[in-house]
A and B are shown apart, each in its own frame.
Chain A
């Protein structure tokens, strides 16, 4: 790995450790291997959003040409959000693509992702189904996102009616994630979710 990338990551590490966000437990950064190419990030769900009290893990890959090319980042924690794929965790965010600047850091990336959780951009979606639910049925979106935060990110909000429906599908031999995804996609309509899963 290029020297510049390594020395940058080392320094960025210190920056994150010293930052006040760390003190407030809102972001975290860890090394996965010793060569500084793989990192693990963690962000707290922002307050007053469906993601509040949740903890989201991120996979960060630092390219050889860092910081002249952006790091590759995706969500490891499953999340229901218009700009993040509910299946793969891929993120649609300008600073991770064309708007990346060499003077940006992993700290700014983590803070930008936190900002993205607080204000989704449904007109530039990564997950079209989530985006249309966000626009057409905001109430349903919030409940679903809270439910996902509870199921995958240790969020506090439980929705017994959702859990019952998931259990019904699990009884039919569907995996928990597939059941949750199918129900979420169909506004928790059990019949339509069943239809999709078994067609």
Chain B
């Protein structure tokens, strides 16, 4: 496909204007299910997807998946599921949201199978084979291609390679979105009666330890092309956000930074330290041992290192050759290059266990609870805007199935909303301003020819966050003074955005990726500063407030960026328990 060059002046920018009923931003997992569901609810509606990459291989599912972490089997109940998820999250989640998600959780998974995705069955029966308590094993290498095909088949309109940059606003109301074509250079102004945001979470806020300067910058667990744009779009318009401080810092395979559940859950291999001690059973028995909540398990190997007992491993030395073969088969379905990585070390897993380490921190509402504050319909605090998947907050442990289920819920609500809504009116002043803002780095390159490249600013941000806001090099620990330092420098960088330069459309996309990350990072730091306690060690470790403070902080920490003042306002929302019982026990 020939690529357009950057426009030379504002009046050279070509416009594409589209009116639609429902606009979905992000044709990933949740976005595709939302699109399909909207068409099912009302086939007469025009449903449009705006996708930064190409629907066939975009987002988290690009390389495939080998498991769906949440599926409710026959003998399990929604209450069991809420209790489990609640305990995993240290007792803090939106129970109303978790219940409504659980009610439709199995549907998208079963549909995927119907459409062609292989799921493993128990040898004796009709039930899916389970991998942990709630996980099922899939052969998901091509699951995104299958989903994309269905999305087209349902008659949804897909606009690939358009990067969303801001919501289209009619006063306080979201009436669509603006973006630019990273291949054709045009500005897309898509007006919709309802808008669903489904752009996934945020990677690349922090420096990963594999960042050797050249070839391994994107050696990340999370999809590196999901940069938190969906959060940034909402922040800029004053949407309420929740629980950013509950970061997703995970145990991953060392150096490769890849998923670990495949080995530890799939093949029940224990985590050990350099002395060969099973770390959860020994040093972390008082915190729950093998059944400890997710954040304890995630943080344990890093604590071992800090205590001088690293490196740590998952002990594969007791696996049989068949199990090792099966495990590699699973990886080929999810992160195939991990099998290549093992080959590049000629690693014999029966002799040489797999080393583990912490990842760089991510903001991912499908794992932890960060994201838009939504109601049970997945309606955000901005009228006309719904959120689903990794970008929506309040519901940790969604994973593949839960994100898809939220896609269904948000579509249902959007279809209802559309029935009583007319298209909003476009504010031409907003369009003019957005054109200047979006293409500015290109114009600066043309006129001044000197400034800051997106890469330089990205690396500056990642270093800052890593060192002062609890990155992996700091063993995820932080304090007030460090956070204040980070905030001070973030403000300088936000002011330096005017110096960004881009010499082609791809670099223009990179420029907006860093601009969006700055907005997300600022809100994140405010959340980290506000929670003066340590609720989830590893995910959120305040070295200056090492204890949990239930009196003050057994609640949600929320924020709202005030577009008029430029300030981030912080406040709390109470916890509402629906399912009785001890919130820390499954």
Is A bound to B? Answer: no
B interface residues, Cβ below 8 angstroms from A? none
User: Could you tell me which A residues sit within 8 Å of B by CB distance?
Assistant: none
